[in-house]
Structures are given as structure tokens and as C-alpha cells.
Chains A and B, each alone.
Chain A
Amino acid sequence: MTETIVELKNITKRFPGIVANDDVTLDIRKGEIFALLGENGAGKSTLMSILFGMYEPDEGQIFVRGEKVRLTSSKDAAALSIGMVHQHFKLVSNYTITENIVLGDEPLKRLGPLSWVDLKGASEKIRSLSLEYGLEVNPDDKIEDLPVSTQQRVEILKMLYRDAEILIFDEPTSVLTPQEIEYLLEIMEELRRGGKTIILISHKLEEIKQVADRCAILLHGKLVGVYDVATTTTQRMANLMVGKELDFSIDKTEHDFGEVVLDVSDLTVYNEQKVKVVDNVSLKVRQGEILAIAGVSGNGQVDIADAIAGLQNISAGSISFKGEDISRLTIKERITKGISYIPEDRQKEGLIMDLTLRDNLAIKTFDREPFSKKGILQPESFEQQAEDLIRRYDIRSGQGGQTLTRSMSGGNQQKAIIAREVELDSDLLIFVQPTRGLDVGAIANIHQQILEQRDLGKAILLVSLELDEVMALADTISVAFRGQILKTDSVHNLSKEEVGQYMMGVTQ
């Protein structure tokens, strides 16, 4: 029953400036859901990449099914029936599901000297696999036409197609909506019933509590311990994970709001596909107020934020900032006027991944004094600012300002964006999903930043899919549904359940 399938012994892995894994020893049993819990940058992904053959450990040994193994590529891992669903999916966008699944392990049909890929046969096999595990997909669909949740199912099918026994999931729920998360967790349980061993990398305590049998907690690359999930409270897991007692509650002092900073009226926006994504929306944000737009993903809330920041053109209505219509201004002019924007996709819109942290921090101000003088960049000022912000905002990076942004963990990338945007000292800050994919420690830090800005009298527009976050931070809540604002009211007049109902489009 408790047969050990994977053993990691004294694994140490170093990267320039960082010890990602420090003497980690774990054993994983056959047929369990084993969770790896830890903050961003705690070394969870690195550890599993080692097991998947993507990195070789500097020290330590790996045993699979009792035998010592050396993994130098994902091919070695596949040979040992280890499969992995990566955080960033590895799919070919213009291929069908079938083509993606067979890639690298193609079934061939032969006729004399000719051989070709038997897509039809593979398609059938995939169809039956998908039925067996309740992973509904149509094998002939193209990846680029599919929603993220389906793409994830393709990744799972890819492992099953290769008869993987040990399935590693790297932060699988960070891209999913609440319903999709439920569905995925059910699939995992189904897989466990089918005899698979599952390793779940996550920092979401609730889902670990819900499905996992045991849970290893990593902190700064070191193993804190392995715990039985059923007998450990989430609060205790959270504390172990961040290494200090954590305060979940948010201190929010009540105060009066100042003048209206942002006044959006009758805003209508069409997206590139000419679909009306924002429909006659009006909202006001005052000094010292956090207005949160709640809503299920894809109900136009991001488009509202984009329109205000100037990333999307509007087709009707007006956006006025401190009494001035800004709806025709360029993005840069809006930044100069005093609008900070923390975008939803930090890697695509928030940062230039191949620049250093230092340059990313100055990316909105590089053309001003002191960063450039008479059109000449002043590297010392870049450096000074980077040092200053890294210290004040606790941005962890291997080589200080010179760190390549791509090599930083997601949480620290987000901290960098927030540091940059807050430093602009804007009157309006727009946060879109500021804590998406982040761990408890980083979330608390970011919530603190948002509240600080509120208390400084800034106007804050928060777009979030996390209802708990909305309820905790907002002064005023607007609920978006199909491009419209169904309800706007003070947080004191709304219960979580009521907001949830509006999010589903119920207006009584």
C-alpha cells in the first residue's frame, strides 16, 4: 500500500547567486497525491524539473522504483514513466490536439520505403483516453482555438498517452477559473483512482487541503517538513510556508474620500474581433478610495482597465481624469498625467523579459531627469533607483539590478512592476489581477502596498477575479457581467454571497 515510488536524497541545486534546492530529501509513495508547497522562488519547480530531467542536481541522488537513476533529459524521465504539465504549456499552437500529443512519439504506418504519421489511429486512441478519464476534448481541434483549460487537458492527455505513471503538475490552477479548478481537482482524484502517482506543485492551500494526501513544504530552497494534509490546518501550512506567523486579516481604517479622480461615463469598447466587450459602463473613483471591479473572468473588466490606461480604443463615452477628458490621449500622455497601470499579464505587458531588472524599473521614466539628461541616459541613476527599490520593496534577485528579468520568480517580477508603478507617484493606480499566481507571502505584501497607496489618498481601481481579495480590499464594489456594471455599492452594503450572485448575472 505504501510502496515508495520516488526518492530524492540530499538534492542540492545552485544557480548563479541562488541556492534553489538545499539538501532536500523526499520520498513519494505510489498512488498518492503529493503536494509541494512553498512561496514563489522556494525551489518547488526547480526540484521537480530535476525529477523531470530538465536540470541535473549538483549534489544528491534520485531513486525511481528503488533504482538509482540519472536523468539528463525529459526523454529519460519519459522512459521512467514520469510526465509533467508545465506552468507554461508546451503546445504547438497551429497543430491539432492529436498532432501535439503524438509529437516526438509518432505512431507510423508503413508502405514499402514510405512511412507516415498515423494521425487517424492516434486520434482514436486519444478519444478513448479522454473518455476514460473524463477529459473532454475533440482531438481534431487546433490548439490556438482552445481555451486555456482545454489546453491543460491536452497536456494531461499527452502524459497519459505516453503511459506516464508519475504525473507532475506545476501550478496547474494558476491559469484556471474557480469552476475549472474544481474540474481539474476531480480529474486528479480520478487519476489517483486509476493508480497514478501525482505530484502537485502549488501555493494554494485550499486546493492542497482538498485533494492532497501528503504535503512537503519548502522554504528558501530547504525542506521544512512533510505533513499529513488531513491533520494539518491550512493556517499552520501557511505559517510553515512563509516561515513566520502570518496575519491573514487586513487592517483597513475607514476614512472619507476626497475629490473624484477618475470619472468614466457611458464607456463602450469593442475588441479587435468587433465584439462589444464593454457596454455603457460608468464609474467614479475618488481620492483614497479603492474601487474593485468584481466579476468572472472575461466579463469586460480588463477591457475597462485597458481603455482607461489607453491600451484599447473606446467607441463611445468619456474618460475623465481630474476633470479633464483623457480618452483621446496617448498612453504616454496618460502616464505623464498620473496614471499607473499594473497589467494582468506581467510577462507580456508589464515587463520586458530580456532586459535587466534595472532597466525594467526605469522603463516609464527613462526619458526624464535624472535618468536621462539632454537625451543621454545616465546609468548611475538607473543603478541607484534599482538598488533603492530592490531594498524598499524586497525584490529578490540573484544579481541585483543586473538580474535578467526572465530569470526572476513570478512574485518578484510582480513586486518589481508594483515598485515601478507606485514610484511614479500617480494619482490613479490601476491594478489588474495584481496577485494572480502569487503565494501567500507575496499576496500579503501586495495587499499592504495597495492599502498604503489608498491611505496616501490615491484613487485605486482594482480588477480582481478573487472574490476574497475584492471583499477584503475594496471600499466600493462594482460587479461586471457581460460588459456591463450590474451593481455598484459600498462594501458595507454587500455580502460576499450577494456579490457572487451578481457575478452570475442574477439581479433579483
Chain B
Amino acid sequence: MNIDKIMTDGLSFSLPLFIMAIGGIYSERSGVTMLSIEGFQGFGAFTGAITVVILRTAMGSSPNWLIYVATLASVLGGMLLALLNALMVIKLKSKMTIAGVVVNILAVALTSFLSSVITGAVTGQATNKIQLGVSPRYTIPYLSEIPVIGGLFQNIYPFAFIIIVVALLAWYVLYKTSYGLRLRAGGDNPHSLDAAGVDVNKIRFSAVVLAGGFAGLGGIAFTYMMANFSPSSYVGYGYLAIAALIFGNWNIRTTFWTSMFFGFSRSFSDQLVNELGMSSNYSDLFSVMPYVLTLIVLIFFSKHNRPPRALGEHFDKGKR
């Protein structure tokens, strides 16, 4: 069995999942139920991809740095859709779960429509499948030759580095800064935050928008792994990220491990299918493995879980 491949693929799948889960943690720890990671991810990826297409056409060439522009665009795109989500749940006080589902549906519909329209206008060929260039990949010398875990250091996407840095920063902000202290208070007892003179809704608003940015970063990473963006890019990774954060008990450190667990179980099952040379019917069955694991894990661990106490409650000053 190709251990290196399991390691390489596992990591490149886990990290985007992890950063998306961090987005969910930000939102949920502030008290806003977050189901729209999937939508933010897709919309972000779309924004990134379409930016690449526009720039590529305008310049007539495809330089390497486009990938970083795409990343930035994807983050902003995720934040843009998150802005809408935040408006719905915080300003307009719509039900958080419903808003989440609506945003997800909207993202799929909007991106497939806009893909066709924009590619048509820019390149003259309307398609909802946006081809991206191939992402460069890096192998770290020496480390990549270590047995078993060497694979972790081979063929790394540039996103891996970005995600690791952003994740560390996100951890620092959430657990060490005053913003983080306030954010986490918002999900436990928003009234304490209000009494301390902090605007609860502002904090929550910012947390949701940040969640969009994190999801956008995860989204572009997944998109470059598949080399193109299309509406069929929505395959449930956003929900998997939510499962990872629940399993990780709304804590960034534990969620890192649960994301790894999901990522590596997926690359493992992929390799297993390859190794056994199974037909595509069976391989589909095996790709279900991470989701089945999710289900099992959630069944067994849910009762030890402690979601934020005020999760899903709108903040209303008058309510005692």
C-alpha cells in the first residue's frame, strides 16, 4: 500500500477541512449556529476561480502568482456571502438554521448561473465549469524522506502553508486576545457581554464574516485540488467541517485532530480502493467511509459534547 500517498492526500484534504471548521468554531462560539460553511466555501471558490479567468483573459498569460490572487479573492468572496448570512441572522433575526440552509442553496444556484454568464462574457464560451491552472506543489527536502510520515512533506500545496499560518493566528486570536475572550463569551452568556458594555451583535457579526473568510480559504484549496470549479464542487465538505468541529467539541485544538482523522480516513479508503483494484461501484462505497465514520463518531461522542450554551439564541436585550 502506498503510505506516502495516503499521507500526502490525507494532509491536503485535512487542512482545508480544518480551516473551514475553524470558521464554524468562530461563528458558533460567538453564539451563531453555522450551517452555511458549504455555501461560503463554494461561493468563495467561485469568486477565486472567476477572478483567475478574468485576469487570465485580460493578460493573455497565466503567471504563477495568480493562485495567490485567487486565494485572496476566494477569502473575500466567502466573506461577502457571510455578510449576507450575518445580515439575515443578526440584523433581521431570521432563524439561524433556516438562514444557513438558504445560503447554501443560494450559493449553488448563484454560482452556476454566474459562472455561465461571466465566462460567456469574458471568454465568449459560456460554461459553468471553470478550468484553473495547475497549482505548484512543494516537497521539503530531507523531511520528505522519513519513513512512513515522509509523505506529509511531499507534494504540498501552497495552501497548506497559508492554512497553517492562518490557523495558528486564528487560535491565538480566539484564545489569547480580548476579541477572542468577548467572542467566546457571546456564545455562552451574551447578557454578560452586554452588561460588560460590549456590543454582542457586532461581535457576532464579525465572527460570521470571519467564518466566511476561513471557509473561502478552504474552498479555493479544494478547488485547486480538483483543478476546476463547477457547481458539482459542492460535495458536502462544508458539512464535514461542521461534523469535525462538533466532534472536536468546538475547540480549535481538538478540531485539528478530528479534521486529520476525517482527512486521513478518506485518503486511506481511496488508497484501499486503488490497491484492491475495485470497480467504481465499490470505490463509491468506500468514499462513503468518512461520512459513515462521522455518523458513528457523532453517535458515540455527542453526549460528552458541550456546545456553547447560548448557541442559536438571538441576542435580545430585554430578555432576562
Q: Which of A73, A92, A95, A104 has the most CB of B within 10 A?
A: A92
B4 near A: Cβ within 8 Å?
Answer: no
A54 near B: Cβ within 8 Å?
Answer: yes
Query: In the complex, A54→B197 CA distance in Å?
Result: 11
B185 contacts which of A75, A103, A105, A116 (Cβ < 8 Å)?
A: A103
* A74-B309 in contact given A93-B189, A95-B188, A406-B319 (Cβ < 8 Å): no
Question: CB distance A54 to B182 under 8 Å?
Answer: no
* A117-B320 in contact given A75-B197, A91-B189, A104-B198 (Cβ < 8 Å): no
Question: CB distance B197 to A73 under 8 Å?
Answer: yes
Which residues of A have CB within 8 Å of B191? 88, 90
- How many residues of chain A are within 8 Å of chain B by beta carbon? 27
Question: CB distance A105 to B196 under 8 Å?
Answer: yes
Question: CB distance B189 to A90 under 8 Å?
Answer: yes
Interface contact tally, CB-CB below 8 A: 67
Question: CB distance B192 to A92 under 8 Å?
Answer: yes
Which residues of B have CB within 8 Å of A90? 189, 191-192, 194-196
Which residues of A have CB within 8 Å of B194? 74, 90
B176 near A: Cβ within 8 Å?
Answer: yes
* A116-B177 in contact given A74-B197, A90-B189 (Cβ < 8 Å): yes
Question: CB distance A94 to B181 under 8 Å?
Answer: no
Which residues of A have CB within 8 Å of B319? 406
Query: In the complex, A104→B192 CA distance in Å?
Result: 9
Which residues of B have CB within 8 Å of A116? 172, 176-177
Instruction: Report the minimal beta-carbon distance from A471 to chain B, rounded to whole angstroms.
Output: 33
Query: In the complex, A75→B184 CA distance in Å?
Result: 20
Interface residues of A in 311-327 (CB under 8 A from B): none
Query: In the complex, A239→B18 CA distance in Å?
Result: 65
A259 near B: Cβ within 8 Å?
Answer: no
A117 contacts which of B181, B193, B197, B306 (Cβ < 8 Å)?
A: B181
A100 near B: Cβ within 8 Å?
Answer: yes
Question: CB distance B196 to A406 under 8 Å?
Answer: no
A106 near B: Cβ within 8 Å?
Answer: yes
Query: In the complex, A349→B319 CA distance in Å?
Result: 18
Question: CB distance B320 to A104 under 8 Å?
Answer: no
Instruction: Report the minimal beta-carbon distance from A203 to chain B, rounded to whole angstroms.
Output: 18
B178 near A: Cβ within 8 Å?
Answer: yes
Question: CB distance A103 to B192 under 8 Å?
Answer: yes
B317 near A: Cβ within 8 Å?
Answer: yes
Q: Which of B188, B196, B317 has the most CB of A within 10 A?
A: B196
Instruction: Report the minimal beta-carbon distance from B142 to chain A, rounded to whole angstroms.
Output: 31
Interface residues of A in 69-102 (CB under 8 A from B): 73-75, 78, 84, 86, 88, 90-95, 99-100, 102
**Dominant secondary structure at the B interface:** helix
Question: CB distance B188 to A93 under 8 Å?
Answer: yes
Which residues of A have CB within 8 Å of B172? 114, 116
B181 contacts which of A78, A86, A106 (Cβ < 8 Å)?
A: A106
Interface residues of B in 281-320 (CB under 8 A from A): 306, 309, 317, 319-320
Question: CB distance A406 to B320 under 8 Å?
Answer: yes
A108 near B: Cβ within 8 Å?
Answer: yes
Query: In the complex, A22→B222 CA distance in Å?
Result: 63
Query: In the complex, A54→B195 CA distance in Å?
Result: 9
Query: In the complex, A88→B188 CA distance in Å?
Result: 15
Query: In the complex, A114→B198 CA distance in Å?
Result: 21
Question: CB distance A103 to B193 under 8 Å?
Answer: yes
Instruction: Report the minimal beta-carbon distance from A437 to chain B, rounded to whole angstroms.
Output: 13
A115 near B: Cβ within 8 Å?
Answer: yes
Instruction: Report the minimal beta-carbon distance from B77 to chain A, rounded to whole angstroms.
Output: 27
Query: In the complex, A93→B198 CA distance in Å?
Result: 17
Question: CB distance B197 to A99 under 8 Å?
Answer: no
Instruction: Report the minimal beta-carbon distance from B145 to chain A, rounded to whole angstroms.
Output: 36
Instruction: Report the minimal beta-carbon distance from A70 to chain B, rounded to whole angstroms.
Output: 16
Query: In the complex, A116→B179 CA distance in Å?
Result: 9
A190-206 contact mask (Cβ, 8 Å, vs B): 1 or 0: 00000000000000000
* A117-B185 in contact given A90-B191, A103-B192, A104-B193 (Cβ < 8 Å): no
Name the residue of chain A whose CB is nearest to the CB of B318.
A407
Query: In the complex, A117→B182 CA distance in Å?
Result: 11
Question: CB distance A108 to B195 under 8 Å?
Answer: no
Instruction: Report the minimal beta-carbon distance from B201 to chain A, rounded to whole angstroms.
Output: 13
Name the residue of chain A whose CB is nearest to the CB of B317.
A54
Name the residue of chain B whose CB is nearest to the CB of A107.
B178
Which residues of A have CB within 8 Å of B177? 115-117
B192-224 contact mask (Cβ, 8 Å, vs A): 1 or 0: 111111100000000000000000000000000
Interface residues of B in 167-182 (CB under 8 A from A): 172, 176-178, 181-182
Query: In the complex, A159→B172 CA distance in Å?
Result: 28
Query: In the complex, A54→B320 CA distance in Å?
Result: 12
Query: In the complex, A229→B104 CA distance in Å?
Result: 64
Q: Which of A78, A94, A108 has the most CB of B within 10 A?
A: A94
Query: In the complex, A13→B44 CA distance in Å?
Result: 49
Query: In the complex, A93→B307 CA distance in Å?
Result: 12
* A94-B196 in contact given A103-B182, A116-B177, A406-B320 (Cβ < 8 Å): no
Which residues of B have CB within 8 Å of A105? 196-197
Interface residues of A in 93-137 (CB under 8 A from B): 93-95, 99-100, 102-106, 108, 114-117
Which residues of B have CB within 8 Å of A114? 172
Name the residue of chain A whose CB is nearest to the CB of B320.
A88
Query: In the complex, A71→B113 CA distance in Å?
Result: 50
Question: CB distance B195 to A86 under 8 Å?
Answer: yes
B226-255 contact mask (Cβ, 8 Å, vs A): 1 or 0: 000000000000000000000000000000
* A106-B178 in contact given A91-B192, A406-B319 (Cβ < 8 Å): yes
B176 contacts which of A73, A78, A117 (Cβ < 8 Å)?
A: A117
Query: In the complex, A303→B215 CA distance in Å?
Result: 48
Which residues of B have CB within 8 Å of A75? 197
Name the residue of chain B whose CB is nearest to the CB of A93.
B188
Query: In the complex, A100→B192 CA distance in Å?
Result: 8
Query: In the complex, A75→B198 CA distance in Å?
Result: 8
Given contact pairs A94-B188, A104-B197, A115-B177, a sample of 20 additional A-B residue pairs in the complex whose CB atoms are under 8 Å apart: A54-B317, A74-B197, A88-B191, A90-B192, A90-B194, A90-B196, A91-B189, A92-B188, A95-B185, A103-B192, A103-B198, A104-B182, A104-B193, A104-B196, A105-B197, A106-B178, A108-B178, A116-B176, A117-B177, A406-B319
A-B contact pairs, 23 of them (CB 8 A): A73-B197, A74-B194, A75-B197, A84-B195, A88-B191, A90-B192, A90-B195, A92-B184, A93-B188, A94-B188, A94-B306, A94-B309, A95-B185, A95-B188, A99-B181, A103-B192, A103-B196, A104-B193, A104-B196, A108-B178, A114-B172, A116-B177, A406-B319
A residues neighboring B (CB under 8 Å): 54, 73-75, 78, 84, 86, 88, 90-95, 99-100, 102-106, 108, 114-117, 406
B residues neighboring A (CB under 8 Å): 172, 176-178, 181-182, 184-185, 188-189, 191-198, 306, 309, 317, 319-320
8 cross-chain pairs, A with B, having the tightest CB-CB distances, nearest first: A104-B196, A75-B197, A106-B178, A90-B192, A90-B195, A116-B176, A92-B188, A92-B185
